[in-house]
Amino acid sequence: MPGTCVIGLQWGDEAKGKLVDILTEAHDVVVRYAGGANAGHTVVFGAQTWKLSIIPSGILRGGVACVITGGVVLDPAKVIDEMDGLESRGLRMEGQLQISDRAHVVFPWHVVEDRLLDSSLSGGGAIGTTGRGIGPCYRDKVGRALAIRLGDLYRPDFREKVEHVVAFKNRLFASWPASTTTPLDAASIHAQYAAYAERLRPHVTDTTAFLLDAVEQGRRVLFEGAQGALLDIDHGTFPYVTSSNSSGVGVSSGSGIPGRWMDRVVGVVKAYSTRVGGGPLPTEQDNATGIHIRERGREYGTVTKRPRRCGWFDAVAARYTARLSGVDELAVMLLDVLGGLDELKICSAYEIDGRRVTQFPSQIADLEKAVPVYETLPGWQEELDTVRSEHDLPANAQRYVDRIAELLDRPVSIVSVGPDRAQTIIRGPEATRRPWLSPQPAKA
């Protein structure tokens, strides 16, 4: 079967971009199926650094079809900017990049709403969104009445649609208590988006039909996740989440390709935890350890440049998202960052109201109370950036990776020890065993 999925198992930025770039070699098609310009995926090889946001990371390898599906919310200005940037560095978009006519379009009003709404979350702190209009665009998609899809930009009633939505949004913004928004101008927005539509025209197509043909013909398709499973709108740390299904459960709905075509799910984790924006991070280290991780891992957001919150690896959370996403094997990224610490901790349970639990809580109020129960492992002092074989990893680094595999009940098939493509260790055949697929006896 032809489908591989790459899914972040934490709160995003697990280095999915690096992994997708590596796995692209064995695939014919790379698909971005959820999220939008809130994502920032970095790929490094040689002296080159590439930053991608909406365009699949597979674009960096020539000859691979790259597809943005209808599950993505598409800001045309951002995607055109990204295309221009890639073309100026010698990459070809024509004939290689396809964009779904079903994708919902991010308009200026979505960005305004994102800014106005984020700080007014009922009963809690701000989500700390990326300000890219993601939530408001998905909200209009679900609400339907004010939604505009990419295919609509080519229809004769596009101008009328924009006028209708702008009139509605202007009334909404005017009624907002703290609103400082100047009214939107339908004519100029229409003109701007009509120009974007012309630029994108050669790329716009029915990607569902293309992908169904691709899998039925046995072409190998790689699904590139955005965000991380703990930011999933339904299964993540709601309300501190993004507005799409960013865990493995979102691959089919976002791409239109049934799960039966996917035979390999790679769960990507950092060797520690990070989070940007609001919401609980039980293992957060607001101390010297957190600073050590942030500085060694250069943990500053790709999209918003915000410092990322850092902490120990949370095996309760990652085991939950590995199961939720149907993960077969793990990629442990940024292992090098943990070098130089005497001791490392892994959270293997929570204590909530005096009770020890290993099941990830469904309620944010419980997660906020969770006190991590840690296992302590010995650290290593060696730099790992030149290690290329698992046998050359320091024993304590191997032990750390093995413990993650045990706690998540999945083999670690890939270990990353630096941002470059080359700084990657592919582990042996034991990494493809899948014992958790055998039926488990029911617990008494």
Which residues are designated catalytic?
13, 41
57 near ligand IMO, rule: CB under 6 A? no
The residue type at 86: L
Structure tokens at 67: 């597809």
**Residue 282: partners with Cβ closer than 8 Å, 6 or more residues away:** 311, 314, 316, 317, 347, 350, 367, 370, 371, 372
In the complex, least distance from residue 38 CB atom to ligand GDP, rounded to whole angstroms: 10
Cα dist from 169 to 118, 184, 192, 424, whole Å = 17, 8, 18, 49
Measured between alpha carbons, how far is 392 from 358 in angstroms, rounded to an integer?
Answer: 33
Q: For residue 262, list its beta bridge partners.
A: 3
In the complex, least distance from residue 222 CB atom to ligand IMO, rounded to whole angstroms: 15
224 near ligand IMO, rule: CB under 6 A? no
**Residue 271: partners with Cβ closer than 8 Å, 6 or more residues away:** 313, 332, 333, 334, 335, 337, 338, 400, 401, 404
Instruction: Give the contact letters, 74-113, x = binds to ligand IMO (CB under 6 A), - = no.
Output: ----------------------------------------
Residue ranges that bind ligand GDP, judged by CB under 6 A: 8, 12-18, 40-42, 44, 297, 302, 333-334, 336-337, 416-419
Residue among 247, 331, 325, 251 at smallest CA distance from 22? 331
Count of residues engaged in binding Mg ion, rule: CB under 5 A? 3
Radius of gyration of the chain (CA): 22
Q: Which is nearer to ligand GDP, 257 or 415 (CB)?
A: 415
Instruction: Give the contact letters, 122-161, x = binds to ligand IMO (CB under 6 A), - = no.
Output: -----xxxx-x-xx--------------------------
307 near ligand IMO, rule: CB under 6 A? no
Measured between alpha carbons, how far is 260 from 3 in angstroms, rounded to an integer?
Answer: 9
Measured between alpha carbons, how far is 440 from 444 in angstroms, rounded to an integer?
Answer: 12
13 near Mg ion, rule: CB under 5 A? yes
40 near Mg ion, rule: CB under 5 A? yes
DSSP state of 423: S
Residue among 74, 34, 132, 48 at smallest CA distance from 21? 48
Site for Mg ion in 292-311 (CB under 5 A): 302
Count of residues engaged in binding ligand IMO, rule: CB under 6 A? 23
14 near Mg ion, rule: CB under 5 A? no
Residue from 277, 280, 290, 419 touching ligand IMO (CB under 6 A): that is 277
Are 387 and 375 spatial neighbours (Cβ–Cβ below 8 Å)?
no
Q: What distance lies between CA 339 and its chain's CA centroid?
A: 26
Q: Which is nearer to ligand GDP, 18 or 110 (CB)?
A: 18
Q: Which is nearer to ligand GDP, 81 or 206 (CB)?
A: 81
In the complex, least distance from residue 86 CB atom to Mg ion, rounded to whole angstroms: 17
Q: Which is nearer to ligand GDP, 13 or 75 (CB)?
A: 13
Measured between alpha carbons, how far is 130 from 7 in angstroms, rounded to an integer?
Answer: 20
Q: Which does 297 bind (CB under 5 to 8 A by kind): Mg ion, ligand IMO, ligand GDP, none?
A: ligand GDP
Q: Which does 127 bind (CB under 5 to 8 A by kind): ligand GDP, ligand IMO, Mg ion, none?
A: ligand IMO
Question: Which parts of this chain interact with Mg ion (CB under 5 A)?
Answer: 13, 40, 302
Question: Which parts of this chain interact with ligand IMO (CB under 6 A)?
Answer: 8, 11-13, 38-41, 127-130, 132, 134-135, 226-228, 231, 242-243, 276-277
